Amino acid sequence: MVSIAVNKGRDNVAMLGIGAYRPQRIVTNAEVCETLDSTPDWIFERTGIHNRRWISGDETIRSIAAAAGERALNNTPIDRSKIGAVILCTSSWLKLTPHGAPSVAFDLGLNGVAAFDLTSGCGGFCYGLGVAADLIRAGSFDYVLVIGAETMTVGLDPTDRGTAMIFGDGAGAVVVGPAEDNGISPTVWGSDGENAEAIAQDVDFLEYMNKAQALQGTDPAVEAVGRMSLHMEGPKVFRWAAVTLPRALSAALDSSGVAKEDIEVFVPHQANARINELMKKNLGLAESVPIANDIENTGNTSAASVPLAIEEMLVTGKAKGGQLALLLGFGAGLSYAGQVVTLPPAPKEPSF
């Protein structure tokens, strides 16, 4: 029998460095309410958001993804030539072809490495982190750069009360690689395709193109195309989250072998500050455990929210490198992913 050679895998992996990019433009609740029928206080009471960041000027999803990746590489004590793969977690790259990761890898001086996009909505970063850890454990790569980047505002309807007040733009990235002690537990993940349309584009690409083509022929029977926008059925998503996420958090703890009493930091997806506080309470985490609240001034940045929240906690001192953190990403799909991790060192090059 001929044996097939296998790369030597790594049992212990961890996040070795982190970087982030926050767009220059700060958008207050008051500015959102210039278009949206709401008030600043109402928005904060329901979501926990005061401000969010929106891209402006020459900022694009490509530029902010590369900026976050550059900072993560600079904040990691390895040479970038050792990076074997780039995973770009995003739902807002503007083209299906070419996908984004190869272009971002090129911008980072990593042209030629394996590079692919991963689309899993607001759970994207935690999905990407799980994939990166498993790739390294399997021996496929020694080091992987995982980037979560979104420009959610490009596809927003500014009059939609279900989305316009919530979303923002931004990017966060981590370098994943071998470590002396394991710093990323097995990922617990799942989805509910039966209710997937609860968070969705209002039209698919084919419908959008057909309408645009008909309008070019001035067909009076065709409605105006308008913008392709993201819409969300808030009550349905909330019901799904209330049932699914507590189970996901408990499963993440079980798979990690870590007791909830050992968790030092809680970093859930920044969807809603009130929901996150409720999750912490229902899970039974100690009152002293800090919970990420980057949503207050960054908004919901989908696949970028978890790394942005980690970076904010490390920069401000709310958390420290080496602490045990429980992560959970959840949203479109409807899907979720979570793991227990050891936090990377605070960045030498922060985003703010």
324-331 and 265-268 strand pairing = parallel
Q: Are 80 and 111 contacting, i.e. CB atoms less than 8 angstroms apart?
A: no
What is the SS3 assignment for 97? coil
Residue type for 192, please? D
Q: How many other CB atoms sit within 10 Å of the CB of residue 310?
A: 27
- Tell me whether the omega of the peptide bond preceding residue 246 falls within 30 degrees of 0, making it cis: no
In a 10 Å sphere around its CB, with 0-12 CB exposed, 13-18 middle and 19+ buried, how is residue 330 labelled? buried
51-54 and 199-201 strand pairing = unpaired
Report how far residue 198's alpha carbon sits from residue 190's, in angstroms, rounded to the nearest whole number: 16
Residues labelled as active-site residues: 122, 269, 300
> Residue 57: left (phi > 0), alpha (psi -120 to 50), or beta?
left
Measured CA distances, 299 to 67, 71, 165, 252, 287 (Å) = 19, 21, 8, 25, 24
| Cα radius of gyration rounded to whole Å, the chain | 20
In a 10 Å sphere around its CB, with 0-12 CB exposed, 13-18 middle and 19+ buried, how is residue 243 labelled? exposed
User: Which of 8, 324, 29 is closest to 168 using CA atoms?
Assistant: 29
What is the SS3 assignment for 191? strand
